[in-house]
């Protein structure tokens, strides 16, 4: 599944299902040959209908490419892949505190504060 495939699925999904789809993407991505992974990130994903999720996809592309020592897709730097205000997907104060400390740099710089454990399948 490419990031564009994921974006298409996210567009028509509930928030809960979006997180399940993200987990599935991360699992599938981790099983791909490292040489094929960059290709799954290069095509710009369509808009999801949520600025938050569009920013998350930009952060995810940068994060995954960085950890594979691959080229970060140019589209991930587009203005619409950054939020104007912070987004904390978690609901509890403790989880938010963890996200502030643990969010990978590619997510923090886009205003997406997600706990690192949410990306552990990578």
pLDDT digits (tens, 9 = 90+) for 102-111: 999 999 999 9
The pLDDT score that the predictor gives to residue 121 is: 55
pLDDT digits (tens, 9 = 90+) for 61-104: 999 999 999 999 999 999 999 999 999 998 888 889 999 999 99
**Alpha helices by DSSP H, the chain:** 3-11, 15-31, 34-42, 51-67, 93-102, 105-108
pTM comes to: 0.94
């Amino acid at each position: 599944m490419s990031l564009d495939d994921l974006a298409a699925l996210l567009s028509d999904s509930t928030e809960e299902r979006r997180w399940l789809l993200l987990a599935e993407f991360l699992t599938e991505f981790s099983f791909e040959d490292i040489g094929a992974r960059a290709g799954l990130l290069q095509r710009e994903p369509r808009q999801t209908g949520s600025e938050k999720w569009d920013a998350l996809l930009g952060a995810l592309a940068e994060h995954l490419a960085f950890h594979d020592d691959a080229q970060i897709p140019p589209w991930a730097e587009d203005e619409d892949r950054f939020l104007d205000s912070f987004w904390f997907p978690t609901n509890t104060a403790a989880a938010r505190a963890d996200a502030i400390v643990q969010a990978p740099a590619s997510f923090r710089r886009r205003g997406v504060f997600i706990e690192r454990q949410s990306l552990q399948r990578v």
